Structures are given as C-alpha cells and as structure tokens.
C-alpha cells in the first residue's frame, strides 16, 4: 500500500501545495501521523515550556487524488485508524475554556487494549478509547490556512465522529484535492475544553473518490447511523447556524424533502452539536439519523 511516513508533513493547507504522493481514486493509501505536539513530549517531565512551537499540529501529506478536478466533491473513506504510540495530554494556564487551570503539566498515558489508562489523585481510571482524527482536509482555493484552523476546507475540526468507518466529504478547491491529516486523538469529548484530547501518533488508512452529488454542502460526514453537516466560524453561534443551514440544504436539495418536512424532522430528531470551542475558529455540527431518511426512501449519497 502506498504510504507516507510521519516526516512527510506540512503545517498549512495551501492552494499551491505540491503532492508528496499521488494515488488513484478508490485506491487505499496510508498516512502515518504525529501527535499534535509533533511527538515532542515523551515523558511527564517534558513540559510545554520546552516545545518548539513552530512544530505544532503537523499533518501528513499532501496526497494528490488522480483525476479529481476543482469543484468535485470527494468522498474520503476512513478505512482504518490505528494508534502507533502512547497518548499525551497537557494543561496550560490561560489556554482552552477552563479559567481554573493554574498549573502547567504533561501526562503521558498508556492506550493499550482499547482503554486509556488515566491515573488521578483518587484512583486509576480505564477509559474506553474512541479514536478520531482532529485535523483532516484539502487545499483551499487560494492562500494557505494553518493546520490548527478549521474552515470549509476541513482542517482542525476536532469532530469526535471522524473515526474508523466514517466517510468525510470535502470539496476539491484545486485539481487533485491535496489531502492531508494528523492530530489523532485516542479519546476526546465534544468541546475539547483543555485544547487537547489524548493526543496520539497514528496510522490512518484512507481511500478517496469523486462523487456525483455536486450540490452536497461540505464538510459533510456519514457515519454508521448519522448524516452530519459540519461548519466552522468565528463564533459558536455562527457555526451552529451554518451547520443547521447546511443540513437543511442537504435534506431539501439532496434527500428531496419538502421544506416543511425537513424543518419538522430537524427540530424533532436532528441535533445541533458542538465539535470544539477552543480553536482559532469554533466548530459545530448538525446530526440527522440515517434511519429516518431510509424510511422515506432515500438511497444514500451517490
């Protein structure tokens, strides 16, 4: 399988990105990723004071998808997501959504046998892993966007549902799409209030192909049981509005519901949810159950 190792990385999704690998549509390929600190924190004694801040949030890539043209909607199937090292977490005063954090700390944590082992002052917890990809995206139409920032190209969306088995739909803004990912978390809650989850190096296996549904609002995600519109904006308010609007467009334009049916179903069984509230832009999502659309005869995104 074609593979990029974790030294083949970048720090911004750029319109003029040059591919480090080229793959065919439908061909499985692998990206080995570093954790968001570029694997610099190896023990509890390595604090963020020692970090090289120029080497943060690396993404592995870019990967050119052959035959994809500007304007195409590309479906990225996350075929496999494997942890390849221990997890690390930090606390840093003034960072994230918790004003009560006063100490700078590092914790390196085991993540074997499907659980994260977290020592606390009151006992050791074994927390089930839910691996997910924090940074995943394609080149923007112009300029460059740091890997730490989420936007319509994807990027640092920190969506807990982007895991093994999920399919992420992004719009190619340049020929070949120029895909990359990194910042995998072995476990993270919605919000990412400390600005970190269990940050973990990983190996991500993906395949990609252009699809016919050119009106699909992106970023868009399909999981085993949900359709999910994802949106990032300067405020959480705007991100929730945009995700809601994009789900309405999906339900009316792609799934063929009337405006009234789409609205009633969104307010009854759809959920406005948070991805993260701590990055340079905030990210929200709107989740809608696939089973309801299947009952109404929708065959899926083609």
Interface residues with a copy of itself (CB under 8 A) are: 89, 91, 96-103, 105, 107, 116, 118, 120-123, 125, 127, 187-198, 235-237, 240-241, 244-245, 248-249, 252, 256-274, 277, 282, 284, 286, 292, 295-297
Contacts of 164 (CB under 8 A, 6+ apart): 78, 79, 80, 81, 131
Q: Give whole-number Cα distances, 124 to 44, 71, 116, 186, 277, in Å.
A: 16, 50, 10, 17, 28
- Residue with the two structure tokens 């406005």: 272
Listed residue (203, 202, 239, 179) closest to 13, CA to CA: 179
Q: How far is the CB of 61 from a copy of itself (least distance, A)?
A: 26
Task: Measure CA 188 to chain center.
Answer: 12
Nearer to a copy of itself, 125 or 141 (CB): 125
Tell me how crowded residue 54 is: count the other CB atoms within 10 A of its CB: 7
Q: How far is the CB of 215 from a copy of itself (least distance, A)?
A: 14
Nearer to a copy of itself, 193 or 210 (CB): 193
Nearer to a copy of itself, 228 or 265 (CB): 265
Q: With contact defined as beta carbons under 8 Å apart, do 104 and 207 qualify? A: no
Nearer to a copy of itself, 184 or 196 (CB): 196
Nearer to a copy of itself, 78 or 233 (CB): 233
Q: With contact defined as beta carbons under 8 Å apart, do 10 and 62 qualify? A: yes
Q: How far is the CB of 230 from a copy of itself (least distance, A)?
A: 14
Q: How far is the CB of 245 from a copy of itself (least distance, A)?
A: 7
Q: How far is the CB of 249 from a copy of itself (least distance, A)?
A: 8
């Amino acid at each position: 399988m074609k593979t990029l190792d974790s030294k083949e990385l970048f720090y911004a999704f750029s319109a003029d990105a040059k591919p480090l690998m080229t793959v065919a549509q439908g061909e499985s390929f692998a990206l080995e990723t570093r954790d968001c600190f570029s694997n610099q924190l190896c023990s509890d004694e390595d604090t963020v004071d020692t970090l090289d801040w120029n080497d943060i949030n690396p993404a592995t890539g870019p990967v050119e998808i052959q035959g994809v043209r500007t304007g195409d909607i590309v479906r990225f199937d996350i075929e496999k997501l494997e942890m390849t090292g221990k997890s690390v977490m930090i606390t840093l005063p003034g960072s994230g959504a918790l004003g009560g954090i006063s100490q700078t700390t590092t914790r390196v944590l085991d993540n074997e046998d499907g659980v994260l082992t977290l020592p606390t002052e009151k006992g050791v917890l074994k927390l089930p892993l839910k691996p997910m990809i924090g940074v995943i995206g394609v080149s923007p139409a112009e300029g460059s966007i740091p890997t730490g920032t989420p936007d319509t190209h994807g990027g640092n969306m920190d969506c807990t549902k982007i895991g093994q088995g999920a399919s992420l739909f992004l719009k190619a803004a340049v020929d070949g799409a120029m895909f990359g990912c990194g910042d995998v978390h072995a476990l993270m809650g919605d919000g990412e209030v400390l600005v970190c989850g269990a940050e973990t190096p990983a190996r991500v296996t993906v395949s990609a192909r252009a699809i016919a549904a050119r009106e699909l609002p992106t970023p868009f995600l399909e999981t085993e049981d949900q359709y999910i519109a994802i949106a990032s904006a300067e405020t959480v308010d705007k991100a929730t509005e945009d995700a809601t609007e994009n789900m309405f467009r999906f339900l009316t334009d792609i799934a063929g519901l009337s405006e009234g049916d789409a609205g009633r179903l969104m307010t009854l069984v759809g959920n406005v949810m948070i991805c993260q509230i701590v990055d340079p832009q905030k990210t929200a999502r709107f989740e809608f159950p696939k089973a309801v659309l299947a009952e109404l005869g929708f065959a899926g995104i083609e």
